[in-house]
Chain A
Amino acid sequence: MKNYIRMILFLFVLSVISAILLTFFALETKEYIAKNKQRERFIHILKSMRILPQEVENLLAKDEKLSNMPENTIQEKFQKEAIRIERTEYYLKKEKTEKILETFSSCIDVLEVTSQNEVTFYKGKEFAYLPSQKIDYLHNLYIFQAKKEGQSIYTFEIAGAGFWDKVSGYIALKEGFRNIAGITFYDHKETPGLGQRIEEGWFQGQFTFWNKTIFREGSLKPELRVTARKGTYDGEATANYDKKQNEVDAITGASETSRALDRFISKNLYHVFSKLAKVVRDKNDKEFFDANTQAFLKNFPEAKP
């Protein structure tokens, strides 16, 4: 009996000490970890919109690999674009956090829509320095807006089940939510060398370089397809190429990852649009969405497909 009590006491004391130690470390590192995660999101938001700190622009202009690439044919131009996307991410990741926050605060506005459809509007300056517990990416929808060349670009998160685990990214839309301004993936566990290639420039570049839209012609239901089709594309549709404007190339050897993107991007878009349609109808929030986007959202069907 005495032995048992000794055992229980020993474990109890040890557990309490461990708990205190862990709590201390968790509290001490909490702010840093939150900042790291926030930084990562901001990097990808900026990347998807192509709004870059001046320093990154300078580095890109000086980049040797980029400037050595020819751009005579459309294929070469596309390859250059692909490398540019990869280098952009690389330089953004190297950039100091202050610069990222600075660019974010000066260019971007944020709209928060909670699961109860409550709407809050933030200036980039406020949002970038909000305490981390006030931002709930899991339950709320955040739309980031920026003006570029007189046009509004909107970015929001897309996430869904990939082949192995959740895939998260950001998609930026322009021209009244019709065309894609940029796409990026920041968190996934797809197979290295195969599904992992969604990180690569050529995959992300094809969404923007060929002016892909998110709708099938004549339809208002988002339908962005990631499909495997034969034939090559040289900027203009040729006889042996029948990819539509809402279709991008899948990744060879990563059928499941491609299929997963094919499935969840459209679903995500539909979800976001129907939520925003409600916001626009109820609140008539004129400041955030431009005329084009408002018109689109007002017409967006609320019923399930």
Chain B
Amino acid sequence: MSLFSAENKKVFLENIWKENPIFRQILGICSCLAVTNLVYNTLIMCIALIVVTVATNVFVSLLREYIPGRIRMITQVLIITVFVTIVDLLLQAFSYEVSKQLGAYVGLIATNCIVMGRAEVFAMKNRPWPSFLDGLGAGIGYSIILIAIAIPREILGFGSICYYPILPQESWIAWNIMIMPPGAFLMLGTLIWIVNASGKKVAQEGK
């Protein structure tokens, strides 16, 4: 099987859109609600999640022959938490401000359903390379939605994108609701509605 065979591509691409974890499966929305009020923080969070998902998938896949079936969940959680802790430490050491703003949510990647979901569903049954692609796809799929939610939230909540002001700071009245978690609920709901209403085809193909 070549590295970029049709099957591998499908694994990668399906996760980005058709099987998008947040959109189609409504998984991992905890962090989606909490950290998406600033685009920059969201980007860091997305990178952290991609690293953890990919690393976990690869390691679980490498160990899949040796993991005893009855304790596979504990093993996965152990692997996930190791990577999450490493990412958290690195963030604190090299990007202290962002790590402070993300607060507990970096640590909470450990409980993110996407990471464990991909490990259990895909990495346990597949070889490392497809697992790598699967993790990357799921991570990117998650990131796209998070950024799509973060951009309008930051515009409406702060009048800026990545701290760069784009709306007149003097006359613009920030929407506080957009900064707080309920704002993410509104945005996520609206996004799902728009996508479902405009592209019914996608949803039906999924069935």
By a beta-carbon cutoff of 8 Å, the part of chain A in contact with chain B is 3, 6-7, 10-11, 14-15, 18, 21-22, 25-26, 29, 32-33, 36-37, 39-40, 93, 187, 189, 191-194
Contact = CB atoms under 8 A, between A and B. Distances in A.
Given A11-B71, A11-B74, A14-B75, A189 B103 contact: yes
Nearest to B92: A33
Contact of B75 (A11, A22, A36, A192): A11
Nearest to A26: B89
Given A14-B78, A29-B90, A32-B94, A7 B71 contact: yes
A114 to B, nearest CB: 27
A25 B179 CA distance: 34
A10 B71 contact: yes
A192 B179 contact: yes
Interface in B86-116: 86, 89-90, 92-94, 96-97, 100, 103
Contact of A22 (B37, B82, B174, B180): B82
A191 to B, nearest CB: 7
A14 B81 CA distance: 12
Contacts of A18: 78-79, 82
B70 interface: yes
Contacts of A187: 100
Interface string B67-83: 11011001100110010
Contacts of A14: 75, 78-79
Contacts of B164: none
26 contacts: A7-B68, A7-B70, A7-B71, A10-B67, A11-B74, A11-B75, A14-B78, A15-B78, A18-B82, A21-B86, A22-B85, A22-B86, A25-B89, A25-B90, A26-B89, A29-B90, A32-B94, A33-B89, A33-B93, A36-B93, A40-B96, A187-B100, A189-B103, A191-B180, A192-B180, A194-B176
A6 B180 contact: no
Band of interface residues on B: 20 to 34
B71 A21 contact: no
B176 A193 contact: yes
Interface string B44-79: 000000000000000000000011101100110011
Contact of A32 (B68, B74, B93): B93
A11 B75 CA distance: 7
A74 B51 CA distance: 53
Given A7-B71, A11-B75, A194-B176, 13 more contacts: A11-B71, A18-B78, A25-B86, A25-B90, A26-B89, A29-B90, A33-B92, A33-B96, A36-B92, A36-B93, A40-B96, A192-B37, A192-B176
Contacts of A32: 92-94
A193 B89 contact: no
Contacts of A193: 157, 174, 176, 179-180
Interface in B136-188: 157, 174, 176, 179-180
Contact of A36 (B78, B96, B179): B96
Contacts of B82: 18, 21-22
A187 B97 CA distance: 11
Nearest to A186: B100
